[in-house]
Chain A
Amino acid sequence: MSARTLHEDASTGVSSHRGAGSLTPTMHRVVERIRETGDVVTLCLEPVSGGRLDFLPGQFNMLSVFGVGEVAISVSGAPRDPGPLRHTVRDVGAVSHALSESAVGDLIGVRGPFGSDWQIVPVNAGAAADPRDVVVVAGGIGLAPLRGAVHELVAAHREGGGRVFLLVGAREPSQIVFNDDLEAWARDGAKVMVSVDRATPKWPGRVGLVTTLLGDAGFDPANVRAMLCGPEIMMRFTARALVDMGVDPGAILVSLERNMQCGLGWCGHCQLGPLLLCRDGPIVAYAGLVSQLLSERER
């Protein structure tokens, strides 16, 4: 990975680290394959030539399966973890299917990291922990791009940072990803609430839309920042609900995705209004332009 520059984008209110010269994939080997749910797999990758890919929580890589294609997948690991690069993939298309079927020892091409991040200052960076509460709302596989961020936030909370509220929505109990992490984060002081759309007889938890957890969570709307990732409709309604509760729209970050291809803002496939989401996103502030774009109807 070549040198990266910090880029502040006035239209999204989010700064990003841009990769330069990242059109050529570097070869990575699958060193572990973890089945998260029926159609979700986490691939642990190590570069064939050694070293380690530097990334920030929320950024994504372009993963190539040679002979099949390339797809944008967010990093689901945490920068603080010394282990291999982790990507969590849901089997929904040709490339993600091929990735999901990858076996230990297979080679995967990796370009990146690209895009903006969740704007978390690691506690080991010397800065004081942010005292504000953080509410993280994840729907389905949307927890994957947030996983690294939640690791950092929980660590920051232990160092005097704000409280962490993690609200997770899933279709059904069997589709909840990262169960071990959810338990660990709860043990480490985060308030973890999970709600499913369809309960099974043994499900002891909440049933209903993830937004119904907001009122019970117990964060201070006047002193909270929010991070949302999941289906866009979920994020739209969650952001509106947060604003209705009194949360500052400028304190809400959402993760948007379109058809990411080059990762560098050159090809324009990921355009959303004036934004090129591979470069200006995927993490953008909800306030202003983005709140309008989220309600924009496609023509």
Chain B
Amino acid sequence: MKTMDELLSTHPFMADLDADALAIVAGCSRNVVFEPGELLCVEGESADTFYLIRRGHVSLDVHAPGRGPVVIETVGPGAVVGWSWLIPPYRWTFDARAKSRVGAVAIDGACLRGKAEMDPALGFALLSRISKELLSRLQATRLRLLDLYGGRDER
């Protein structure tokens, strides 16, 4: 059975994080499993956790009156789910739902914020990773806004 440090070290989000930092993050982490349809987080509720997805896929949903849950995006192994723990008022903006059986590392956001405030180097390392992930997701979202497949390509 893998230790939490080992689980974290194999996730792309934690790639190249040094052993001391990994140990600190591991102290705020636990291994979790979600069955298909289970919610990882719920829009409007307190955002105190984020997830490093190890297995399975998660949909990010928003509830639309008359339409039910509308899937905005799906993410899979290697992805991070949840940014709202980072910025006040720490409240989820969307639902996150397991589309298949999901294995993840759940990280206590409040715990990690506290560790990062005491250790600026750790805070910078984590924020760099978070910024990279956010940039990647923002760019993908911007490209989707272009409605690429709706163009006048005759092929």
Evaluate whether A208 and B154 lie within 8 angstroms (CB atoms) in the complex, with A171-B147, A197-B147, A230-B148 already known: no
Tell me the dominant secondary structure on chain B's binding face.
Answer: mixed
Write the A228-243 contact mask toward B (1 if CB under 8 angstroms, else 0). Answer: 0111011001000000
Q: Which of B67-75, B84-92, B110-118, B121-129 contacts A (4 or more CB under 8 A)?
A: B67-75
Which A191-219 residues have C-beta < 8 A from chain B? 195, 197, 199, 201, 203-209, 211-212, 215-216
Interface size class of B (residues with CB under 8 A): 20 to 34
Q: How far is the CA of A144 from the CA of B74 in the complex (A)?
A: 26
CB A196 to nearest CB in B, in angstroms, measures 9
Contact residues in B for A139 (Cβ distance below 8 Å) = 148-149
Q: How far is the CA of A229 from the CA of B99 in the complex (A)?
A: 29
CB A272 to nearest CB in B, in angstroms, measures 15
Instruction: Confirm or deny: B57 has a beta carbon within 8 angstroms of a beta carbon on chain A.
Output: yes
Write the A123-167 contact mask toward B (1 if CB under 8 angstroms, else 0). Answer: 000000000000000011110110000000000000000000000
Interchain CB contact under 8 A, A257 and B148:
no
Contact residues in A for B143 (Cβ distance below 8 Å) = 209, 211, 233-234, 237
Evaluate whether A92 and B152 lie within 8 angstroms (CB atoms) in the complex, with A207-B72, A207-B74 already known: yes
Tell me the dominant secondary structure on chain A's binding face.
Answer: mixed
Contact residues in A for B27 (Cβ distance below 8 Å) = none
Instruction: Confirm or deny: B155 has a beta carbon within 8 angstroms of a beta carbon on chain A.
Output: yes
Instruction: Confirm or deny: A89 has a beta carbon within 8 angstroms of a beta carbon on chain B.
Output: yes
Interchain CB contact under 8 A, A208 and B149:
no
Q: Which of A67-75, A101-109, A288-296 contacts B (4 or more CB under 8 A)?
A: A67-75
Instruction: Confirm or deny: A269 has a beta carbon within 8 angstroms of a beta carbon on chain B.
Output: no
Instruction: Confirm or deny: A96 has a beta carbon within 8 angstroms of a beta carbon on chain B.
Output: yes
Give B145's nearest chain A residue, CB to CB. Answer: A197
Interchain CB contact under 8 A, B57 and A206:
yes
Sample 24 A-B pairs with CB under 8 A, ordered by A number. A72-B154, A74-B155, A92-B153, A92-B154, A93-B152, A141-B153, A142-B153, A169-B148, A197-B147, A204-B99, A206-B76, A207-B74, A208-B73, A208-B140, A211-B140, A212-B75, A215-B78, A216-B78, A231-B148, A231-B149, A233-B143, A233-B146, A233-B148, A257-B154
